[in-house]
Amino acid sequence: MMMLGVESDVAQLTGDLSSDGDGGSRQEDVEAGRARRGRGRTRVREDATGTAADFDGSSSVRRLLQQMLHSPNDINKVSVPIYISLLLMLGYIALGTLVFKLSEDWEPLICLYFCFITLSTIGFGDYVPGTLDELGSEEKMVLCALYLVFGLALIAMCFDLIQEEAKNKMRRLGQRLGLLKKNES
């Protein structure tokens, strides 16, 4: 039997044409896969698990992309540690405290209070930036509005990430305790 380009490269690398159990050789499977994708001669090697892969690792990337395309629900699953979300929220409140300390004549604790009360949508209205009749009060109101718009979006995103992470942790705990099956959501 005459060996084609891919088979000969694989045979040189592996030293034999081992069978994968279905009657055909693994190298023939590799060649058939290459032909389906319309690729020319490509040097192929077998990795530690016995599957063929390109030397540059592009087949593993290709395989990952194919898995993602075939299971779009897995793409939407994001796991962010709770402490990262909390740090983001605290950092944003600290940034707002600094901005309002520099732009208003408020004490740092009052700036912190304003940022927390406003971003938590409680908004008592006892402190309002840019209310003094001075130069730049309109710019301060715009700055405050931008801070709030981005802040509310960030806080909502962080709360959602914390909720997802808590659900994932409870699901894993339920699986460890035997209350849930491995594939149960």
Question: Taking the domains of the chain in order of start, what are their residue ranges?
Answer: 5-75, 82-177
Lowest mean pLDDT among 51-65, 69-83, 121-135, 156-170: 51-65
Report the mean per-residue pLDDT for the chain. Answer: 75
Q: Please give the structure tokens belonging to residue 112.
A: 């912190």
Per mean pLDDT, which of 44-48, 155-159, 174-178 is the most reliable?
A: 155-159
Residue 11 burial (C-beta neighbours within 10 Å; 0-12, 13-18, 19+): middle
Query: CATH assignment of 82-177?
Result: 1.10.287.70
Instruction: Read off the DSSP letter of residue 56.
Output: T
* pLDDT for residue 2: 47
Overall average pLDDT of the 15-29 stretch: 50
Distance CA 148, CA 156 (A): 12
97-123: average pLDDT: 93
SS3 label, residue 156: helix
Task: Give the mean pLDDT of 102-120.
Answer: 93
pTM of the shown model:
0.56
Max mean pLDDT among 28-37, 76-85, 161-170 falls in: 161-170
